[in-house]
Amino acid sequence: MTVEGELALARRALSHLAGDQAQATVTHERSLCTRFACSAATQATAIDDTSVELLCVLDGHTGAASTNQVDDPGLADAARLARDAAAAAARSGTGAYPGLPQPQPTPTHDGYDRATASLEAAVAGSALAAAFAGCRDRGLEAFGIWTAGEVTMAIASSTGIEVTDAVTDAGMTVIARDHDGRSGYAASTAVAAGAIDAAALAAAAAARVSADERQRLEPGEYPVVLDHAAVATLLDFLGALAFNGLAHAELRGALCGAIGMPVAAPCISLADSTRGPGTLPRSFDAEGVPKRPLALIEQGIARAVVHDTRSAALADTRSTGHALAPGGSPDGPEPTNLVLAGGDAATLAELCAPIERGLFVTRLWYVNTVEPRRALLTGMTRDGTFLIEDGVIGRPLHDVRFTDSALRILAATEQLTAAQRLVSDTDLYGRRFAKGVLCPALRAGAFRVSGGSA
Amino acid sequence: MEARWVERTSEQLRVSGGCVDGIECTTEQGVGIRVAVAGCGFGFAATREATKTGLELALARAVAVARALPASRSRTQLAPVPPAHGHWASVCEIDPFTLSLSERLELLLEAEALLRGDPRIVRGVAESLAVRTVVAFASSDGAAFTQERTECGGGISVHAAADGELQQRSYPAGHGGSVALAGHEHLLALDLPAHAPRIAEEALALLNAPPCPSGRTTLVLGDEQLALQIHESIGHALELDRILLGEASYAGASWVSPADVGTLRYGSPLLAISADATLPGGLGSFGWDDEGVTAQRTMLIEDGVLRATLSDRQSAAAIGAPSGGAARADGFARQPIVRMTNVSLEPGESGTLEQLIAEVPSGVYMETNRSWSIDDRRLHFQFGTEIAREIRDGKLGRLLRNPTYAGVTPEFWNSLEAVASAPAWRLWGLLNCGKGEPGQYAHVSHGTAPARFRDVEVGVLR
């Protein structure tokens, strides 16, 4: 199907809610995921599916229904469910939903690659072969995933919104592992599968596997260099904890009372943007509101939180284009394209140079929130944790647990690399939704280690 | 070759601030086809087009993606299984999909109203979930069966905020409440309105409670928190695909090795863990798994010693064993992988929660999960709960806020010194168990009774 086909389907779905304030959203996913372990392919999954979400608005309430049965009987059933849901909700009194947004011009972007959209399985096969060879040459085994997808989307609403978008994304993760379980990680995400260099990823992952015995690090506070992937994970959590406009309005957010105040080091400037090079572009959010760059932290000063139509009404402001679901998610909006400005360090080695004794973290794993108001997180390091001694990355460490505030780490940040990297945690649960964090690596003066696996 | 047609219907209702916060009804159906191509590997393709043309295209795609895999040591053997035939359906006394939305909303509105009143309550939520999944399965081995599962449940939660502090309480569990393989009768039995005033009061009281102190002490865990402890540090660790490194790139591996079965002391002699897909009400119960293996009950750990792992046909074949019947897929567009069924701590002989506490001179009692994290080998974990109480001289004392505890899996389970008896045992459903790429959420249950552990680190980095 083409975006024109998606739009025609959205119009047809909307016609089943004629007379109501309503929105129809069509999302078509075609994707391929190929997984590997122990230098052998393990699973290959090809998906082709279309979903239609119908939102009916009645007296400040929303009712939503979705289906992948896109014939008229299927759409009529979904429309009936959405209308019944809105009517049942409206019986509880007037609701707080302010109504569907009005049409606005949406930006174009270059986030679509026709070759990637062809989803050639042979491209995946070649990438796996290159990763296997790259690891084998270094006496290691390869684990990971290669994936590519095309997602086309259309929204039609009773307020006159008619927008379409088409995006592609491709990514590969390679974990190189030796027989003692020491592992290294490298990953890459881009709009085009052609930008994924499997051999280079295998080499980079292998370079993080040290032949030396791993040391144990005692709990305590250490200077740290966080590589791009680790920084991205912290920022992704901060996005949910600090910049969710609904949580902020309900006094649950980590930046409550702090807008306009210093919350990070002056070298920290964080925005949400789908425009810059290296991002995963997107034209509009789940309500059809255009995506525009938004400064969240400027030189350490908190500037804004993000909104969808629902949270904006609560905060007496306008949507910033961050709805995650038609009508706004009950859990509120979130930034999905965070961009942390780069600094002046040319290399990771330059970041490490001032540290007498600290740690280098390749990536974080199983991070979760401990106390949301403090943005206090816990999680493990994984696939390449090293001791920094006398300014140089040295002996490997057993993985450690950190328990620290993302805001505290940003406040302790001293220097960032100039080079940013797109780190994607593309949502492969449910309908594919490509998103990512564009960020540099950083050095922070304090990072709290609370335990470890050893 | 296997083909699974799946139709899944769900309704999620949510009430907040005296209004209906959202009603989402979802219907999806389609077919997932898995093929084993000798010398290449497994290919899987999913389509919503359940027509002859649609299925032929999906089959061709599954074969094509398998054939494109690089030559390697890919295994396409599956453990043998007798072909499954018949129909199975879970028990559903009151079909939630036959009730009006208004009737179900009324219950939630009543419960949510009882959460509010104090200006420090910044958010109250009452929610319910109903899911029906119908599956038709056929394989080139000759299997042909259908099954229907209905899940239902819900819960309430409340946030209180003041002076920069934020506290949360939930009933009967965090993360969406309690969901079971049952009908609307399960939601009614939870009696949400009766518990709303209590959790609101507790959330407010926690705002001014002292923080959980740091140190090592005796820890008593409520049964709901223990369910997640078992899930993370036993259930996932015993998934055979992880043990064989098949999930090393994403979900992770395991500290357990295949050779440990039969000899590894996982925990104290009081530790007995079962995997039971026949348990009434369990979200991990079914007639057959998603590879057509009949539901079974297996003891994973007995007297603290590892006896078995969770497996599917593919991982079982790799070690020359029969499948453990734990292959499950999240809808039609995902292929089956090793998942938990109902992995439960068998009840002990230490009486009630009160009797567990009565034997503790000094310690901490924690309940209702709020935060969880564990490393990729399932060794070092850290959990946070919504609420804790000091234990002094065998009695519960003052409230403690922001409680956390941490440990290392075998040390922790070897410190198990008491498990409450059968009357205190109940099933807890989890809806958010993520694994696989593309990602899959599994619905699983864990049966637990409150338990006591000695010398555990609490109050991490206060």
Q: What is the DSSP letter of B120?
A: T
Whether residues B45 and A47 touch (CB distance < 8 A) is answered with yes
Which of A34, A42, A97 best probes binding to B when mutated, by most B CB atoms within 10 angstroms?
A42
Structure confidence by residue, pLDDT tens digits, B424-440: 999 999 999 999 999 99
Confidence of residue B326 (pLDDT cuts 50, 70, 90): very high
Distance CA B161, CA B238 (A): 40
Give the DSSP letter string of B226-257. HHHHHIIIIIGGGBHHHHTTTTTTTT---S--
| Cβ atoms within 10 Å, residue A220 | 9
pLDDT per 10-residue tile (average), chain A, 454 residues: 90 93 97 95 94 96 95 96 93 90 95 96 96 97 97 97 97 96 96 97 97 94 98 97 97 97 98 90 96 96 97 96 95 96 98 98 97 96 97 96 98 98 83 94 97 78
Structure confidence by residue, pLDDT tens digits, B198-235: 999 999 999 999 999 999 999 999 999 999 999 999 99
> Strands A220-226 and A338-340, how do they pair?
unpaired
Whether residues A428 and B24 touch (CB distance < 8 A) is answered with no
**Whether B339 and B436 share a structural domain:** yes
Complete domains list, chain A, with CATH: 3-207 (3.30.2290.10), 220-452 (no CATH)
**Whether B220 and B298 share a structural domain:** yes
**Whether B229 and B177 share a structural domain:** no
Cβ atoms of B326 and B338 closer than 8 Å: yes
| pLDDT for position A124 | 96
B-facing residues of A in 316-335 (CB < 8 A) are: 327, 330
- Give the residue on A whose Cα is nearest the Cα of B13: A85
Structure confidence by residue, pLDDT tens digits, B380-406: 999 999 999 999 999 999 999 999 999
> Strands A400-405 and A442-452, how do they pair?
antiparallel
Q: Which residues of A touch B405 (CB under 8 A)?
A: none
**Whether B119 and B228 share a structural domain:** no
Q: Which of A233, A207, A240, A259 is nearest to A363 (CA)?
A: A233
Give the end of a domain, one of B148, B173, B207.
B207
Q: Which residues of A touch B440 (CB under 8 A)?
A: 429
Q: Is A92 on the interface with B (CB under 8 A)?
A: yes
Both structure tokens of A299? 């030189």
B-facing residues of A in 171-190 (CB < 8 A) are: 173, 175, 177, 181, 183
* Number of cross-chain residue pairs from A and B with Cβ atoms under 8 Å apart: 277
- Classify each residue of A324-335 as buried b or exposed e, where b means 16 or more C-beta atoms within 10 Å of its C-beta: bbbbbbbbbbbb
| Cβ atoms within 10 Å, residue B69 | 27
Structure confidence by residue, pLDDT tens digits, B14-38: 999 998 988 999 999 999 999 999 8
Q: How close is the nearest chain B Cα to the Cα of A343, in Å?
A: 31
CA angle (A306, A307, A311) in 5-degree steps: 135
The SS3 call for residue B51 is coil
A61, A367, A372 ranked by CB distance to B19: nearest: A61
Distance CA B459, CA B462 (A): 6
Range(s) of the domain holding residue B176: 2-207
Q: Is A259 on the interface with B (CB under 8 A)?
A: no
Q: How close is the nearest chain B Cα to the Cα of A352, in Å?
A: 26
A62, A368, A428 ranked by CB distance to B371: nearest: A368
| pLDDT for position A391 | 98
Q: What is the pTM of this model?
A: 0.96
- Give the residue on B whose Cα is nearest the Cα of A77: B27
Q: Which residues of A touch B379 (CB under 8 A)?
A: 453
Beta strands in B212-318 (DSSP E): 215-221, 273-276, 297-302, 305-306
Whether residues A45 and B46 touch (CB distance < 8 A) is answered with yes
| pLDDT for position B462 | 61
- Give the residue on B whose Cα is nearest the Cα of A186: B249
Both structure tokens of A343? 């600094």
Q: What's the whole-number mean pLDDT along residues B362-378?
A: 97
Distance CA B383, CA B371 (A): 5
Q: Is B383 on the interface with A (CB under 8 A)?
A: no
| pLDDT for position B38 | 86
A40, A47, A403 ranked by CB distance to B73: nearest: A40
**Whether B202 and B226 share a structural domain:** no
* Domain tally, chain B: 2
Whether residues B248 and A401 touch (CB distance < 8 A) is answered with no
The type of residue at B167 is Q
B67, B105, B249 ranked by CB distance to A144: nearest: B249
Distance CA A235, CA B135 (A): 40
**Whether B301 and B372 share a structural domain:** yes
**Whether B281 and B170 share a structural domain:** no
Both structure tokens of A123? 């491209």
Cβ atoms of A157 and A288 closer than 8 Å: yes
| pLDDT for position A429 | 83
**Residue B60 CA to its chain's centroid (Å):** 35
CA angle (A237, A28, A275) in 5-degree steps: 50
Instruction: For residue A340, list its beta bridge partners.
Output: A270
A-facing residues of B in 1-20 (CB < 8 A) are: 14-20
B72, B253, B434 ranked by CB distance to A39: nearest: B72
A121, A145, A371 ranked by CB distance to B437: nearest: A145
A62, A88, A144 ranked by CB distance to B101: nearest: A88
B-facing residues of A in 381-410 (CB < 8 A) are: 382, 399, 401, 403-404
Q: Which residues of B touch A124 (CB under 8 A)?
A: 65, 68-69
**Whether B153 and B235 share a structural domain:** no
**Whether B276 and B424 share a structural domain:** yes
CA angle (B248, B252, B256) in 5-degree steps: 95
CATH number at residue B136: 3.30.2290.10
Give the end of a domain, one of B207, B236, B266.
B207
| pLDDT for position A19 | 80
Whether residues A451 and B406 touch (CB distance < 8 A) is answered with yes
Whether residues A89 and B20 touch (CB distance < 8 A) is answered with yes
Whether residues B70 and A128 touch (CB distance < 8 A) is answered with yes
**Whether B397 and B284 share a structural domain:** yes
Which of B239, B461, B462 best probes binding to A when mutated, by most A CB atoms within 10 angstroms?
B461
Q: What's the whole-number mean pLDDT along residues B139-144?
A: 96
Give the end of a domain, one of B143, B173, B207.
B207
**Whether B273 and B162 share a structural domain:** no
A80's enclosing H/E stretch is: helix A72-90
**Whether B189 and B63 share a structural domain:** yes
Q: Give this complex's ipTM.
A: 0.94
